[in-house]
Structure 1
Amino acid sequence: MQALRAGYGKDPRRRLSRAEAVDLFARAGGRCQRCGVPLGVEWQQAHLVAHTNGGATSLAQMQAWCRECNLRQGRTDAVDPSLPSPREWQAQALDVILERIWQSGRATVHAAPGAGKTFFAGLVFRQLMDSGLAQRMVVVVPNRALQKQWADALAAWRIYLDWDPRDGFLQHPDTVGTVVTYQGLTGSAAGQIQQMRAASTLLVLDEVHHVGDQKAWGNAVASIVGSEETDDGMHAAGVLNMTGTLFRSSGNQKISTVRYDRVLVDGVEKYQAVADYSVHASTLIGVELRRPDLYAYDGQVRLIDVREETVLEGEIADLTRGPQVNTAIRQGFMDRGLVHAFANEAVKLLGQQLATIEDKAPLKMLWVADDQAAAKLAAEEIDKVVGRPFAKLVISEDSNALKTLRDAATSPHSCAIVAVRMVTEGFDCPEVSVIAYASATTAVLTLAQTMARAMRVTAVERADRRLLPAQILIPNNPSLRTAFAEALVAQFHILDVPDESTADDEGRPGSGSGLRMPRYQLVDMSTLDLHSATVLGEFDGTVMADELREVIALCLELSIPEVYAPRVAVAARRATPKLPLYTQAVPKPPGLTTTQADPRSLNKARRSRITAVSNWMTNHLDHDSRYSTIGTFQYQANNAAGIRQGERGDAGSKELAEVEVWMLARVREHCNTHGCALPTAAREENR
């Protein structure tokens, strides 16, 4: 344990907000957490480390006490104010990084999600401040959700930063720095430079690979700290680059604060980021991180290939082409019955996790949806499964989304966080132990970040010395299973950053020339049944559903928590490979069948596509003078296809196809004229 000297700022707040106070009282069960007496109206918000001694005003650092206990405590600390000792890798990395900053002014740390990068940044700042090399700390993060998270985490170690600085750079006088976003930095770079000239500052770039996401972000960083090749323009006392994933990029995306090696990838020259210190996920799993288990669920699916006018039938696992999988998963998770069944499985796994730790921590589920409509449907069905409000919907159209996310993360009660990939990076909530992945996205970087959300470890698990598995539910498709397996490896391998010059323009404002409708349309899909559970990272980690059910029964007989059944199955199979119970079942070969589509099904698919385009245009009529009403738009489409007024219901597939083509052309014109983003339904690859 290391004592923290004064001088790292103090919490600007002395008291919790009204909502936080309610939570604090609820966590105490209405009794003084010091002496146990029932709390009256004069109950107190007690700092465990006195506010005058640098204690944080937060739920994690406070308790509900009776008035008498709080008066007796006075300004003395109720707990040891020392900081916890650094983890092994943090202690080893500290001297290396400090030496690098001393020599060159810049250093890069690569550490797997959950390794403790935030605490490490605090250690570096403390050392620099104690030695007189830094007076302030500015942290730059990828999104607004992480601003308060960083500030709260550092406040727990009594380093106080302003996560909502005035004008983007003017900090509260009680703090020793700020937390800002890369986007916010573009408008406040000049102010940041002014502050850095007045007081030596450590600049921390969290998930530094995002600096290359947009040219303006990179320019803002370069204006503050210059580049790795030269000290010109270096206004910070030091720069600490932090990333959970080492990365490669093309020359036009090089980040000014990062060192690179030149490498050849498939004959193309790339720049590979160089870390001054790395800690890999492989060294942390089972100690600091949970090992993930992948639960794959399969179902029967029928798709119409609109271009070929055929019907494809089989299981999700039989779908071999990306657009087929995308359509099945995206449209399937808009089916209320399927979503309800998937939610029921996720809630069941969460219940098993809670039973394993005897409800000693408010474990949570994260549901990852493809879009906001799917997220809303999922939240409704989760609440139905649980029988009470349980889902916390976090979507961008809600102005209170960030507050909802923060409240859910810190809630003393279990819940389901339902989001559209806005919480896949940097979001830190160790209580998330189950992820329901209801998305078709297979980008390895996205999956690695998503999986990391369930791999952090709670204090309860550390105290019990028994880690839960991170349980992840997915639709059973080989490409998705493979991508998750690669994502675990990618936690400590090098990933390519997309090149702006070659990125797909679909979906960007003004990119109407790329408008396409999906080739496939979902006819129906059965509810999903468990296909297998895979212990990721094990070469023989896949356990088929029948085998898993047998092992679960065995676990219950032996009083082994059900959540460990996949590991028990793998271990037992290795120990006794000849016993039928532990012999891995052989999956059946793919069985996708193709038949000619009947006219009724084909027409239904085309009508669904026409409806999607019409609905999109309905929301854009207010700035399109060509059509006074959506009826006018549809009338002109019918007329172009030779369909008489009122007779679209009798139109054939050929006429409906012409309606679709005409509508898409008009939407293309609209997008090019007004700079509108393309409708979601038009972003599928048409192949």
Structure 2
Amino acid sequence: MATSQTGPAMNEGPNPPLRRRFSNAERASLYLAADGRCSRCDAELQPGWHADHMAPYSQGGPTDVINGQALCPTCNLKKGSKPPMQLRQWQRRAVDAFYAANAENFLVSATPGAGKTKFSLHLARDLMQRGIVERVVVIAPSDNLRVQWADEASAAGISLYPVAPGDIDGYSKAGYVGCVVTYQQLLGTGQDLLRRAMRRPTFAILDEIHHAGDNKSWGDALRMAVEPAVHRLCLTGTPWRRDATSPIPFVRYDVNGTVAVDYAYEYGAAVADGVCRRIEFHAYDGEARWTDPARVRRSTIEENGKSDVSVEFTAKLGANMPEEDVSAALDTVYEPKYAWMPSILAQADAMLSEVREDVPDAAGLVVAERQWLAQGYAALLEQITGTRPPVVVSDPKADPGSRLAKQQIDQFRKGTGRWIVAVKMISEGVDIPRLAVGVYASKTQTPLFYRQVVGRFVRTRPNEEINARLLIPAVPELMRHAREIEEELRHQLEIAAQEDEKAQGEGGASTGQGMLDFRTPLSASESVFDRAILQGAEVSAEELAAAQAKAQELGIPRAYAANLVPLLRAQKTQEEVSVAAVPQQARPAEIPHYRREKLLRQEVETLARKVAYRRKIQPKDINIELLRAGHPKRAKATVAELEAMRQTLAGWMGAS
């Protein structure tokens, strides 16, 4: 006879059945913990709200407040049962490379926005299912990322506990298969607590591993803490140039003493695959005037033994000048009270308005050098837009708890506000896909920091075909970084096109200088658009203006004007050749024709990959569909046939 599972009988036997429903007391706790708002959409909870398991009950998630969340009915029904995790092509290849290496340590370098977190959690779950490991630990660089990793892991069906500072019980908390901590927490007793939690076979994920080289104590603590792990997956979204003289734990170095990456997925490949957005770099020049008594005294005393504090310095941002002058010029133009920054912010907001015509919740980010400057920019944006944007201090040294910064970032991510201002930057890994326009107002010129900022704008969302824009001072070093990034993209697109055509043919961290106390900024001119860097080429102000006029003529939003520049260049070259050519010389006309054909091939290649990405199929399957639709192989297609192919793919994009 079956016995009823109510009352005391539920506690009988060694393995009583798990309780599915939250009690009234637990529901009250979840409601209060969420401040009466839905944990997903932030809407005010109404009668009938749902108490939901974060780690699904069907997958063994406990009915406990530590595994619960308060959701509105709409969000809970949308959540539903999650389908198996679908990996992108690069993620599948990285998983295969990990198993092929069969090594304790494996370093993956993938561009921001490519999906390192999803790849890592898939691998963690696969290792657990294979019985290779029983537990998972994640070490992240910030408090904000610690919570974000725990949330992402829960969505992937892995229960990880985000250990708060001072919580000595969180490292081995019952009901979880692992934990998430920060590098900072490993100092002191944290390293021993984490090491002890690895008594069972453990997979360690070391996010943004280059942070372990920031200071020796972090690296030593990390080495001690995760040494017992069966496998250690090291992740970075930014290339760094640290060599073997300042080694980072669990990272290999080649014979030349430079870091050896086991699997790389760079920005160019991510854009070619439709995984990341393309970014336009808009450089602005301007003139700065300042005085520097300390420097004047040095120079005049050397010349005639006298001091003269009345000498002024003047420089244009785009000019080649000593680093000391670059720092002084940037200090001057970044002052909110002078004309350069107000004009830059006004132009950036106008760009954002253009983008929001197509993407209503698109947003902008200003990266400021110091907190008082950030407050000044917020005041300027309030004058421009009528709304004061939030100012986020995400530097861990300035805001160790980062609780306020996290709340501001979370609210901004879920909202529709236009602008957010951050001191230095919004932390690595913070995912705000609606960021589309940025203003670089930092003095830091290192490629590491620059690429971290660029990474804030490249994340994609479904059904969005926009280019992100980053407005930068026309300082030569920053321009060089932009060219390098665009050159990587251009090179990767060409490689992708060549590989695809071949397949068809076969049948199928420095922080920069600080402001000098005695230096006095005097004035800065309004910003002047100098040039844009897009698709590996520089675009002049005149070309961009012509493209914007053409876009308006064609009924295309101005936000897409930069995409027309290569086409207008090809048309202009063809017209010039036609006018200059004599009847006996028809050969030169083939040069612009070839350029146009090359441009079309790249555009068709990019569209095909984007359609494949949206449909979750391989690019070769799109090529087969094109052949079935009557189009020839791209390797043999004429300009007219490529244009027809582009039109077909554009139609498929709209239907995806």
1:381-420 equivalences in 2 (<5 Å): 381-394=380-393, 400-420=403-423
Q: Deviations over 1:201-254 (max 9, x none)?
A: 1111111122222111111122134xxxxxxxx411211111224444343422
Find the aligned partners of 2:252 and 2:97 in 1 and give their Cα distance: 15
Find the aligned partners of 2:225 and 2:86 in 1 and give their Cα distance: 33
Return the letter of the residue paired with 2:282. Y
**Partner residue in 2 for 1:283:** 269
- Check the 8 A contact 1:438/1:474 in 2, yes or no: yes
Find the aligned partners of 1:158 and 1:525 in 2 and give their Cα distance: 54
- The DSSP-based 3-state class of the residue aligned with 2:312 is strand
- Check the 8 A contact 1:300/1:313 in 2, yes or no: yes
**Partner residue in 2 for 1:315:** 316
Find the aligned partners of 1:447 and 1:62 in 2 and give their Cα distance: 39
**Partner residue in 2 for 1:131:** 130
**Partner residue in 2 for 1:662:** none
**Partner residue in 2 for 1:649:** none
- The DSSP-based 3-state class of the residue aligned with 2:330 is helix
Residue 575 (structure 1) shift: 3.5
**Partner residue in 2 for 1:4:** none
Going from structure 1 to structure 2, the CA distance change for 1:201 and 1:313 (only over 3 Å counts) comes to same
Find the aligned partners of 1:97 and 1:319 in 2 and give their Cα distance: 46
- Check the 8 A contact 1:141/1:206 in 2, yes or no: yes
Going from structure 1 to structure 2, the CA distance change for 1:117 and 1:331 (only over 3 Å counts) comes to same
**Partner residue in 2 for 1:629:** none
**Partner residue in 1 for 2:145:** 146
Going from structure 1 to structure 2, the CA distance change for 1:118 and 1:474 (only over 3 Å counts) comes to same
**Partner residue in 2 for 1:352:** 354
1:37-48 equivalences in 2 (<5 Å): 41-45=46-50
- The DSSP-based 3-state class of the residue aligned with 2:193 is helix
**Partner residue in 2 for 1:293:** 280
Find the aligned partners of 2:40 and 2:105 in 1 and give their Cα distance: 41
Return the letter of the residue paired with 1:299. G
Q: Deviations over 1:319-376 (max 9, x none)?
A: 622222222222322233533322222222222112123x2xx322111111111111
**Partner residue in 1 for 2:72:** 64
- The DSSP-based 3-state class of the residue aligned with 2:457 is coil
Find the aligned partners of 1:363 and 1:477 in 2 and give their Cα distance: 27
**Partner residue in 2 for 1:543:** 539
Find the partner of 1:432 among 431, 435, 443.
435
Residue 534 (structure 1) shift: 2.1
Find the partner of 1:273 among 259, 262, 270.
259
- The DSSP-based 3-state class of the residue aligned with 1:253 is coil
The reply on whether 1:556 has 2:541 as its aligned counterpart is: no
Residue 457 (structure 1) shift: 0.7
Going from structure 1 to structure 2, the CA distance change for 1:41 and 1:223 (only over 3 Å counts) comes to closer
**Partner residue in 1 for 2:290:** 303
Find the aligned partners of 2:209 and 2:408 in 1 and give their Cα distance: 23
- The DSSP-based 3-state class of the residue aligned with 2:37 is helix
Return the letter of the residue paired with 2:271. I
- The DSSP-based 3-state class of the residue aligned with 2:432 is coil
Residue 578 (structure 1) shift: 5.8
- Check the 8 A contact 2:363/2:436 in 1, yes or no: yes
- Give aligned pairs, total: 507
Residue 533 (structure 1) shift: 2.3
Going from structure 1 to structure 2, the CA distance change for 1:206 and 1:489 (only over 3 Å counts) comes to farther
Return the letter of the residue paired with 1:275. V
Going from structure 1 to structure 2, the CA distance change for 1:50 and 1:522 (only over 3 Å counts) comes to closer
Going from structure 1 to structure 2, the CA distance change for 1:450 and 1:489 (only over 3 Å counts) comes to farther
Residue 49 (structure 1) shift: 8.7
Residue 483 (structure 1) shift: 2.6
**Partner residue in 1 for 2:253:** 260
Residue 94 (structure 1) shift: 1.0
Going from structure 1 to structure 2, the CA distance change for 1:492 and 1:52 (only over 3 Å counts) comes to farther
Going from structure 1 to structure 2, the CA distance change for 1:527 and 1:247 (only over 3 Å counts) comes to closer
Structure with the higher fraction of residues in helix conformation: 2
**Partner residue in 1 for 2:460:** 457
Find the aligned partners of 1:387 and 1:245 in 2 and give their Cα distance: 36
**Partner residue in 1 for 2:467:** 469
- Check the 8 A contact 2:290/2:312 in 1, yes or no: yes
Find the aligned partners of 2:225 and 2:409 in 1 and give their Cα distance: 31
**Partner residue in 2 for 1:186:** 187
- Check the 8 A contact 2:467/2:560 in 1, yes or no: yes
Percent identity between the two aligned chains: 27
1:165-184 equivalences in 2 (<5 Å): 165=164, 166-167=167-168, 169-184=170-185
**Partner residue in 2 for 1:673:** none
Going from structure 1 to structure 2, the CA distance change for 1:332 and 1:91 (only over 3 Å counts) comes to same
- The DSSP-based 3-state class of the residue aligned with 2:529 is strand
Residue 45 (structure 1) shift: 4.1
- The DSSP-based 3-state class of the residue aligned with 2:161 is coil
Going from structure 1 to structure 2, the CA distance change for 1:216 and 1:311 (only over 3 Å counts) comes to same
Find the aligned partners of 2:169 and 2:533 in 1 and give their Cα distance: 46
- Check the 8 A contact 2:486/2:533 in 1, yes or no: no
Going from structure 1 to structure 2, the CA distance change for 1:322 and 1:521 (only over 3 Å counts) comes to farther
Residue 473 (structure 1) shift: 0.8
**Partner residue in 1 for 2:8:** none
Find the aligned partners of 1:436 and 1:224 in 2 and give their Cα distance: 39
- The DSSP-based 3-state class of the residue aligned with 2:453 is helix
1:517-596 equivalences in 2 (<5 Å): 517=516, 521-535=520-534, 537-538=535-536, 541-577=537-573
- Check the 8 A contact 1:138/1:204 in 2, yes or no: yes
**Partner residue in 2 for 1:373:** 372
Return the letter of the residue paired with 1:98. Y
- Check the 8 A contact 1:543/1:570 in 2, yes or no: no
Find the aligned partners of 2:488 and 2:106 in 1 and give their Cα distance: 22
Find the aligned partners of 1:455 and 1:565 in 2 and give their Cα distance: 18
**Partner residue in 1 for 2:592:** none
- The DSSP-based 3-state class of the residue aligned with 2:324 is helix
Find the aligned partners of 2:110 and 2:41 in 1 and give their Cα distance: 37
**Partner residue in 2 for 1:242:** 235
Return the letter of the residue paired with 1:273. V
- Check the 8 A contact 2:98/2:106 in 1, yes or no: yes
- The DSSP-based 3-state class of the residue aligned with 2:459 is coil
Structure 2: which 5+ runs fail to align? 1-17, 300-307, 492-508, 577-656
Find the partner of 2:58 among 50, 53, 61.
53
Residue 41 (structure 1) shift: 4.2
Find the aligned partners of 2:417 and 2:262 in 1 and give their Cα distance: 39
Going from structure 1 to structure 2, the CA distance change for 1:65 and 1:104 (only over 3 Å counts) comes to closer
- Check the 8 A contact 1:262/1:272 in 2, yes or no: yes
Find the aligned partners of 1:43 and 1:368 in 2 and give their Cα distance: 42
TM-score using structure 1 length: 0.66
**Partner residue in 2 for 1:628:** none
Going from structure 1 to structure 2, the CA distance change for 1:382 and 1:48 (only over 3 Å counts) comes to farther
- The DSSP-based 3-state class of the residue aligned with 2:233 is strand
- Check the 8 A contact 1:330/1:370 in 2, yes or no: no
Residue 527 (structure 1) shift: 2.2
Residue 532 (structure 1) shift: 2.5
Residue 456 (structure 1) shift: 0.9
- Check the 8 A contact 1:323/1:520 in 2, yes or no: no
Residue 387 (structure 1) shift: 0.3
